[in-house]
Chain A
Amino acid sequence: MANTLYDNARELFATAKVNWTSDTFKVYLIDSGNYTVNTSTHLYLSDVSTSARIAGPVALSSLTASAGACDAADITFSSVSGTSIEAILIYKDTGTESTSPLIAYIDTATGLPITPNGGDIIVTWDSGTNKIFRL
């Protein structure tokens, strides 16, 4: 599977219910062995089993959306251990899992899959045209 937005996120962006620069977005590192992504039917963080969430959440900061390219500062997951990680999940945090929309599922990145070694995991977003993703 390629990196993609969840269908519900597309709808939320299209209906102005998600604001990249003012809402709170957080990131989990995901073990796909415990979460089979379905970008059509999965809507909220509660659709992602807790056993699949290996590290996080880490909040995104310095959010920008110039020319529709959604960007943020690189993030660090501290002292990560656990099973192998195959994906990165971005969601909008409302404070309640059952209302926190899933935004993006990224399973294609340099370094994936990764087996945590107890040290930090640094996620570097693309600094090119698309940034994290481009609308």
Chain B
Amino acid sequence: MADKPAPQRLGVPGFRAFGAMGGALKEEEWSQKAEDWMRPAIDWEALAKLPPFQLFIWQRQRGPQDADWHQWARERMVAEVQQMGEQAFFEAYCEWHAASGQWLRETPLGKLKG
């Protein structure tokens, strides 16, 4: 009897149901974003566990559909950081996070604003 294929996985990033989608960032949001950018050390391990970050990675390069998203995001993250540099890659993620408009009350690092 043939083995059952390995499970495939979907990782759903949560969204704000009644929040405005997209649009310009308010001054305090830019401040928060800048604060995130300027952190002396980025907790990449924590970042790789965040569904928005995993989605960001997925949209840059699709992985195998039976992937462990956390592990796959870690691997891609390492490759991207080596290629782009830590700051440039993190800024790209921050830009994508802001442009998506789906997490307006969260920082790119997954923390609540304000």
Contacts and interface: CB of A to CB of B under 8 A. Distances in A.
The judgment on whether A and B are partners is yes
Contact of B10 (A2, A110, A127): A110
Interface stretch (A43-51, A94-102, A113-121): A113-121
Nearest to B3: A119
A76 B101 CA distance: 28
Interface in A82-113: 88, 104, 106, 108-112
A76 to B, nearest CB: 7
Interface residues of A, number: 41
A111 B18 contact: no
A84 B49 CA distance: 26
B68 to A, nearest CB: 10
Interface in B9-50: 9-19, 21, 50
Contacts of A4: 15, 17, 21
Contacts of B13: 3, 108-110, 126, 130
Contacts, number: 129
A4 B50 CA distance: 20
Nearest to B65: A114
Nearest to B8: A121
A129 B14 CA distance: 8
B4 A133 contact: no
5 interchain residue pairs of minimum CB distance: A130-B14, A119-B5, A126-B14, A110-B11, A111-B10
Interface of A: 2-5, 10, 13, 69-70, 76, 79-80, 88, 104, 106, 108-112, 114-135
24 contacts: A2-B102, A5-B17, A104-B17, A106-B12, A108-B55, A110-B9, A110-B51, A111-B10, A114-B10, A118-B4, A119-B5, A119-B8, A121-B10, A122-B7, A123-B10, A126-B14, A127-B51, A128-B106, A129-B106, A130-B15, A130-B16, A130-B103, A130-B106, A133-B17
Given A110-B69, A134-B16, 7 more contacts: A3-B15, A88-B12, A110-B54, A112-B10, A114-B65, A121-B8, A125-B14
